[in-house]
Amino acid sequence: MKTKKNALGRGLSAILESPDTDITSKDISGDFVVGAIANISIDKIKTNPFQPRTEFEELSLAELTQSIKEQGIIQPVTVRKTGYDEYQLISGERRLRASKLAGLTEIPAYIRVANDEQMLEMALIENIHRADLNAIEISLSYQRLMDECNVSISILADRVGQDRSTITNYIRLLKLPPEIQIAIRDKQISMGHARALISLPEVEDQLNILREIIDRGLSVREVEKWVRELNSPPDKKEKKEKDILPESYVNVRKNLSHKLATKIDISRNRKGKGHISINFNSDYEFDRIISLLQ
């Protein structure tokens, strides 16, 4: 039986459980020791430069602000100590922002020691599991963690408690054109739509379908069907039957081409319907051919 992965991931668990992240001997002089939960002045907390979230919905932030005004902070933020009474936010930026809007001057915080790589990992995992990042923010965060911390998809998947295929699907979104990434970010299309569009080799086809999704509200299933049709090669048997011309047609094509001194194309389906195409390369050649036909 397959065991369920830890939602926090082994990487974060190791950070939180390691003595290097919470022993008091790591403390940098100040009012509070590392490992403590204490009320810290908001103006002493610097924001996290590794914060993967780039957008905070105003309505959601307003609701959290009102909740804090009425009930206070239920879950402390997490900070690392960087100097004498100086702290840097690891996770909980929504709570910190909402607390400022609520007029608080202090906020409960769990004090830790973490290096930059650990801060990025902790901020990423805390946001993925708790703060509803959009798919592009998650994708960028995964890519950044892989690039800056030099970890493979397998290691990353283990650390954040996700399947490798899930991580791969997120990272593939970054290969899409900017217009589609923006549509994902703005929730104009779903990740299901995006995954279908990724399999199209031509950017023009991707953007055409994007416009149709937005204008007509196409479902994921409709988009997947459309993509399959574009990716499906034409039926070889049918094409072969259409390309076969009776011998008399072949002779006519040869004679016309010789008489008009240009390339002639003749197509005919099984019911006897078709068309004749006469090629020309200039206005002069067009006039020449017309004069021969009259």
**Which residues are catalytic, by number?**
93
Residues contacting 55, CB < 8 A, separation 6+:
134, 137, 185
User: CB-side exposure of 167: number of CA atoms within 13 Å?
Assistant: 21
Q: Which of 106, 104, 75, 102 is nearest to 91 (CA)?
A: 75
CA atoms of 293 and 282, how far apart (whole Å): 17
Cβ-contact 189, 213 below 8 angstroms = yes
CA atoms of 178 and 184, how far apart (whole Å): 10
List the structure tokens of 169: 């699907």
